[in-house]
Chains A and B, each alone.
Chain A
Amino acid sequence: MRRPYFVLMMTFVTGLIAYSFQATYPVHAAQSPSGTARIIAKVVLNGKAPVAGRLPMGADPACLTQNGGKAVLDPTVEADANGNLKDVLVYVKDIVGSYPAPTTPFTLDQSGCMYKPHVFGVIAGQPVEILNSDPTLHNIHPLPRVNPGFNIGQPVKGLKSIKTFAKPEAPFHVRCDVHGWMSAYIGVFSHPFFGVSNDTGQVELKNLPAGTFQIQAWQEKYGIQTQSVTVAAGESKEIVFTFKAQ
């Protein structure tokens, strides 16, 4: 009689312990971005871009060497002669559904004492590989408002650290305290419908489902603009975001 009683009680105990560890987060079925609509955003700067200052690479001889002694300019506002604005993060503000985070890391490189890329987005939970390609000390110091931050020293060329940001969050600053000019911004999303404007100011949001979306464009100096855009299945719609130069 004692043995069945013991087995029963152990099962009960195991169940209780398992319950105590149970995650409280709701579970949604993950979706793949398989829609056929797309939005092509063009980002332009109205007016003359501010003159980009020369970054003080001379503060660290290794940084100067990595750039071959050439001047490196502040990337805060990068626009070409036609006003095409680079490094603007464009994204769908809210969308229903749960999209799986890629397991392939997104690489943030520290090269020539600059962050490459300067602005980028990841899906919440996606690994971010932080690489030091420079023969000097960098410390990678993100300043998120929702996710926990961290600050890691990478004193040797070739070092890699892998981190994740678990919760969606508006773009936040990343800095290297050793080289005060190094600056990057990361946006964390619950979905894959985001992109960063290229040299010609273009961003493509593809594989969208049909619907009406709030599309936002975020620029580190000029802030956020929002447009409401409706796309049908198979439709491709072009929109323009115009930031005023200041």
Chain B
Amino acid sequence: MRFAIVVLFLCMATRILASGADNVGNRDHGKIVYERYCMTCHGERGNGAGEFAPYTNPKPRDFRKGTFKWRSTPSGSLPLVSDLERTIREGVYWTAMPSFFVLNPRARADVIAYLQSFSDRWTSEQPAPLLVIPPEPANTSASVQRGRDVYEAQSCAKCHGDQGMGDGESSKTLVDDWGNPIVPFDLTKGHMKGGSSSEDLYRVFMTGLNGTPMPSFSDTIKPDEAWDLVHYIQSLNAQNRRQK
């Protein structure tokens, strides 16, 4: 009997892993949460065209394409449930997306289950490999200087500008995947949209931001270079404060 239970558990676990379903929220409950807190911006049908959408910039995300900016997965892939949970919990700084920290974790899991119903990608696609973030080395002036070299070698300035202020030569022509004008982030502003921890920054340029012009540089930036770039970007804010 014990063996049969183990077998059953193994099969269920294998099925869950194979389908990428790392979410266990209740979709019916999630609909209630969604209609109360999310629908006014993201729309009843999850199309990003809610009542308040015209007054927001950037526009609320259209969930029907299964395209999400902040992920731990490669460019173009679905995010992990934990990525969505982080965005809902922390909000998106500088935008109309607030933090839903006050919602209990159960409600956040439920609403994630519901927003997954807007795109069939969640049932048809296999899970993508998770970005592995190595431990952060010391943030030294040498690392910052090397990070500046990475910033130049990867041509980050084309969009973000030489001083990281979002005023690069390509900045005026950018649009998102829905054709809405979009500007590169001003890296001197301090708070980052997708979180300001070192890991949050590392994740952004190694996975890209789906639905935006920000690509993934995981093919060209090595992990130690990525940490140097994180330290350089963090220094832009400190430099800015000193100059003021």
Chain A contacts to B: CB under 8 angstroms: 9, 12-13, 16-17, 20-21, 59-60, 136-137, 139-141, 143, 148-156, 159, 161, 177-180
User: Do residues A151 and B213 form an inter-chain contact, with CB atoms below 8 A?
Assistant: yes
Partner of A153, one of B10, B154, B177, B212: B154
Closest to A181 in B: B173
**A40 to B175, alpha carbons, bound, how many Å?**
39
State whether A178 touches B76 (Cβ < 8 A). Answer: no
Specify which chain B residues have a CB less than 8 angstroms from the CB of A21 in the assembled complex.
14, 18
A180 vs B159: C-alpha distance in the bound complex, in angstroms?
A: 12
A-B contacts, 7 of them at CB < 8 A, read: A148-B125, A151-B76, A152-B219, A155-B155, A161-B219, A178-B213, A180-B173
B75 at the interface (CB under 8 A from A): yes
Interface residues of B in 196-227 (CB under 8 A from A): 208, 210, 212-217, 219-220
Instruction: Determine the chain A residues whose CB is within 8 A of the CB of B215 once the complex forms.
Output: 139-141, 151-153, 177
Would you give the shortest CB distance from A30 to chain B, in whole angstroms? 22
Binding site for A on B (CB under 8 A): 3, 7, 10-11, 14-15, 18, 67, 74-77, 121, 125, 153-155, 158-159, 169-170, 173-175, 177, 208, 210, 212-217, 219-220
Q: In angstroms, how far is the closest chain B Cβ from the Cβ of A20?
A: 4
A153 contacts across to B, CB distance below 8 A: 154-155, 208, 215-217, 219-220
| A151 close to B216 (CB less than 8 A) | yes
Most buried by A among B74, B155, B216: B155
Task: Point out which of A17, A60, A139, A159 has the most chain B C-beta atoms below 10 A from its C-beta.
Answer: A139
Cβ contact within 8 Å between B154 and A151: no
Known: A9-B3, A151-B216. 14 other contacts (CB 8 A): A13-B10, A20-B15, A21-B14, A136-B155, A139-B213, A149-B210, A150-B75, A150-B76, A151-B215, A155-B153, A155-B155, A177-B170, A177-B173, A178-B158
